[in-house]
Structure 1
């Protein structure tokens, strides 16, 4: 074969492969309109479908502008990695009765997913919050969260702003190897159940450089959460960074290997919290290998708390109900700042399964008011304390 012909042929093949490697799918080319009125669901889905089928790397682009978007599911598997680039503002329907599920925007069954772009997710939750009566009504209508990731492997969620979610801002379920970074999640302090990030049945999750201010947990780690690294998180207002609640249902998987470091809590109800239900269930669920380090508390009501009598609504704590969740190997190290109530560390463990190997090292917590004094309270705790202990340790 002629050498020049072969060279040209190889060059053409390389160019063709390069063209197939990356492609941009702009939602405006699929009929989307940034007019704050048009329902853009079908346009977004068509762009996603074409991008998902593309055999090279692809980006679904939502340019600047304000886009109305109804409940939508972006599903895989896809042929290559997917980049969902939100540069504009997405607005959810304000009417909760337009939703059929508990999520506004869902991503499912995708390997190598990137979601970011500097845009804003507006859950328009103000009208919905008043209709949240789930603590009183067992048949309540569950409000939709803003963005849900289900069975995503290798995800990178970054540079986004989520405001006024109807319920959870971001939810992870059945995910592996996810990074969430450079996020700002905002809802009023009195907005019910607006957790910032909620995680269940997931492993290998990194959360870093995130600011969260909501009406519920800044981060909540539920059953089956393992291998989580949380760092450089600012939480406030909200209910702190929580493990649980656990032990309400049979068959809940363990929570294991959680590290929370270099975080700040400001004006929150709780700081670092583990909560389990009092129940007649004889669960085998374990919470173990939890490490908190280099934490700053600023006027936090309950800076350090283990609550194995958790019950947010009546009736509860009936005769004979105690938690069967085993908590063990939990360490608190270099935690400092101010408490806004009377108790710095409240470790209320189960008489059925006392907390095992709880350690506290170099804790310095003082009252935010001049005339008060902080104390520590421990019940059914086995462990030890080291270094500075202000107030005096109870283990």
Structure 2
């Protein structure tokens, strides 16, 4: 009996040893410090870990871990032109406070509508030409009588601003003009010139329409500006329109405002009215913007075009109101890349 019990006990020990030895290698593998994963196992575990991590970050995935397809982009559409005018560029001016603000009153201008202020404007321009981004101020609530004048380069500094808030009027005496003059106010051979403000340029053209030698317009661009004679008195410059003139006005009617041979030209905010002939002209200019301006003359005014473009390129005209005696916008020779948008035009010639 004792032998049988000993034999059973020995057998039980052997079975226990066999079972224990069969599980010994996996246990050592899981508990060993130098065990290395095989490539297949590593890749499988990496994918499992990545899938498990993404399931917490992306709630939009399904329970099976499959990715949803990204939404397809909307079909492309052709750009459309807006029905409203684009906002105007920011008004230029003296932002840093370093460039001078040159008020024409400080240079001797009276602004009473009778005294000739031409020399004061010339002096203010000479000072502005010496400093880049300087500003000439024509203050509001003043009326400045100005004869034919040329604000010319090419030796002026760039980016000069002509801040027009007052009113500039033209002389009505034939003695102030001379013969063959093509423009009243001219800006020529400049880089970065801006005229802005809420002021008025009044050509007082009715004296030309009624008292000129000839009604046939002459436009010879080879002629130069003729300055006012030094002996011209103020009374001769500003003869009342309704009075009888001793001389007839010249047969060549001048343009009110002309830009010639200039780059980066901006005209905005101002009103040009009653020009003897064309109101605003760009000749041999590159990079022109004219917006938020008003041009006006009566319906019985002869050959009073609104804007005349000649030998110019890269011109943008928009948000303008044109009501004149002949053409609103006239193209001359060799004009390229001209854009005219969001403007009203009224041809009132009778």
TM over 0.5: yes
- For 2:326 and 2:213, how far apart are their aligned partners in 1? 13
For 2:335, the equivalent position in structure 1 comes to: 225
Structure 1 position 106 matched with structure 2 position 106: no
Q: Secondary structure at the match of 2:125?
A: helix
* 1:42 paired to 2:119: yes
| Per-residue deviation, 1:189 | 1.1
- The structure that is strand-richer by fraction is 1
Asked if 1 retains the 8 angstrom alpha-carbon contact of 2:327 and 2:347, the reply is no
CA distance in structure 2 between the partners assigned to 1:138 and 1:120 by the alignment: 25
Give the C-alpha shift of residue 132 in structure 1.
Answer: 6.4
1:133 pairs, out of 200, 206, 214, with: 214
Instruction: State the partner residue of 1:26.
Output: 103
Matched, 1:51 2:128: yes
Whether 2:154 is the aligned partner of 1:73: answer no
The separation in 2 between residues aligned to 1:32 and 1:228, in whole angstroms, is 38
- Structure 2 Cα separation of the partners of residues 196 and 187 of structure 1: 9
Deviation at 1:42, TM superposition (A): 0.6
State the distance in 2 between where 1:136 and 1:63 align.
34
Task: Give, in angstroms, the shift of residue 134 of structure 1.
Answer: 3.9
Cα distance in 2 between the residues matched to 1:91 and 1:40:
10
Residue number in structure 1 paired with 2:4: none
1:23 and 1:211 map into 2 onto residues whose CA distance is 32
Task: Decide whether aligned partners of structure 1 residues 104 and 208 sit closer, same or farther in structure 2, where only a CA change above 3 A counts.
Answer: same
Q: Is the 8 A contact 1:196 1:218 kept in 2?
A: yes
Give how far 1:172 is off.
Answer: 0.9
Map 1:196-275 → 2, pairs under 5 A = 196-238=306-348
Contact kept? 2:255, 2:281, Cα under 8 Å: yes
Contact 1:180 1:207 in 2 (8 A): yes
Partner of 2:195: 115
More contact order relative to length (CA 8 Å, sep ≥ 6): 2
Q: Give 1:209-358 correspondences, 5 Å limit.
A: 209-238=319-348
Higher Cα radius of gyration: 2
Question: TM-score, normalised to structure 1's length?
Answer: 0.53
User: Unpaired segments of 5 or more residues in structure 2?
Assistant: 1-95, 221-249
Q: Decide whether aligned partners of structure 1 residues 219 and 132 sit closer, same or farther in structure 2, where only a CA change above 3 A counts.
A: farther
Aligned to 2:169: 91
Pair 222,114 (structure 1): closer, same or farther in 2 beyond 3 Å: same
Q: Structure 1 residue 238: deviation in Å? A: 4.0
How large is the RMSD of aligned CA atoms in angstroms? 2.1
Distance 1:225 1:32, change over 3 A: same
Instruction: Give the deviation of 1:224 after TM superposition.
Output: 1.1
TM-score after normalising by structure 2? 0.60
Q: Cα distance 1:125–1:138, how it changes in 2: closer, same or farther (>3 A)?
A: closer
Q: Distance in 2 between matches of 1:51 and 1:162?
A: 23
Query: Within 5 Å, which residues of 2 pair with 1:127-206?
Result: 127-130=207-210, 131=212, 133-135=214-216, 141-206=251-316
Deviation at 1:138, TM superposition (A): 12
Which segments of 5 or more consecutive residues in structure 1 lack a partner in the other structure?
Answer: 1-17, 240-268, 270-395
Give the whole-Å Cα distance in 2 for the aligned partners of 1:136 and 1:41: 26
What's the secondary structure of 1:114's corresponding residue? strand
CA shift for structure 1 position 137: 9.9
Q: Is the 1:178–1:204 Cα contact (8 Å) retained in structure 2?
A: yes
Structure-2 separation of matches of 1:95 and 1:164: 16
1: CA distance, partners of 2:313 / 2:196? 21
Q: Show CA shifts across 1:132-185 (max 9, x none).
A: 634499997211111010011001100011111111100111000000011111
1:136 and 1:117 mapped to 2: Cα distance?
A: 30
Give the Cα separation in 1 of the matches to 2:322 and 2:291.
12
